[in-house]
Structure 1
Amino acid sequence: MTSIFQLTPVLLPALGALSELQIGDTLPALTLKDQHDQPQAIGHNTRFVIFTREKDASNLADDVLKGQTAETLQAIGIRYVADISKMPGLVTSMFALPKLRKYPYPVLLGRTAEETSALPREPGKVTVIEMDGGTIKALHFIDEATALRALMGLAS
């Protein structure tokens, strides 16, 4: 998934200027608009940030999160961020957003590359940033549903 309408980013401008985050770093305050155009923050109580940038990784994350609700993800401390900055605007508005709006949990959307530039990534994989009190405890790059579910304690 990639770019939506040309909206003003809600993300702190400083995040785009940072280098890629690493273990031991503190995740800067991060607020992005979700698929319903509502601002959503990633706070210090977040345990896992799921980040996708490519279609295959996004499909994997969607499959793993299927059946979850906003409440269950919040209880576990999971936030899902999708970089949609490379998606053509027409594709985003006609196909991606209508699909995303059906999801019962928020998907925070990086509409510009700068908004998610500090988030670590590996081609073809879902990034999971494991945090403790806002500090990055571990970085995982996963391309398999069972491993992704197990890491976050989600039932299959």
Structure 2
Amino acid sequence: MPSSFTLLPLMLPALAGTAELQVGDTAPALSLNDQHDTARTTLSVSRFLLFSADKDGSNLADAVLEGQTGETMEQAGIAYVADISAMPAMVTKMFAMPKLRKRPYPVLLGRAAEDTMNLPRQAGQVTVIELNGESVASIAFMSDVSALRARLGLTA
């Protein structure tokens, strides 16, 4: 059986063809499992898709979404996706998943790098993808809890 390093050159053309999401593109139709292994899709989001790609971004999203529930996020039109693909499996299983399962709102999990590779990201920030129907209206990178809560229309 070939090693993953042998297969990597075969995969590079496919990976290179996936462009980063931009304003005007069709909204991403991500189908991922949440922290409770419930299949969810971002298509149900009517307004905002939040994305964190690292620990600092995740901590920021946690602070912004504190006090929210699945119902309040649905009413506000917010879905949250976290890329956990770089996290070692043991850390994910022993520490991250128990913590994630305590959250009262769904967190869609990108467990493989290709799950979220076309979502724009900046280190230590939350990506805010604003949707207008089925298209991307704006993309912003935010690192301030108050500003992000205000942008999402969440009360303190």
Equivalent residues of 1:19, 1:118 under 8 A apart? yes
How does 1:53-72 map onto structure 2 within 5 Å?
Answer: 53-72=53-72
Equivalent residues of 2:18, 2:118 under 8 A apart? yes
Name the counterpart of 1:142: 142
Task: Identify, as 1 or 2, the structure richer in helix.
Answer: 2
How does 1:1-156 map onto structure 2 within 5 Å?
Answer: 18-43=18-43, 45-156=45-156
Give the deviation of 1:27 after TM superposition: 1.8
Code of the residue aligned with 2:103 in structure 1: it is: Y
Is there any run of 5+ residues in structure 2 with no aligned partner, and where?
A: 1-13
Is there any run of 5+ residues in structure 1 with no aligned partner, and where?
A: 1-13
- Identical pairs, percent: 57
Code of the residue aligned with 1:89 in structure 2: it is: A
1:109 match: secondary structure: strand
Higher RCO (Cα < 8 Å, 6 or more apart): 1
Please give the per-residue CA displacement for 1:88-147, whole angstroms capped at 9, x wherever unaligned: 000000000000001011000000110000101112211000001121000010011011
Give the deviation of 1:71 after TM superposition: 0.3
Over 3 Å off, 4+ runs: 14-17
2:79 match: secondary structure: strand
Q: Is the radius of gyration larger for structure 1 or structure 2?
A: 2
TM-score w.r.t. the length of structure 1 is: 0.87
> What RMSD in Å do the two structures reach over aligned CA positions?
1.7
Code of the residue aligned with 1:56 in structure 2: it is: D
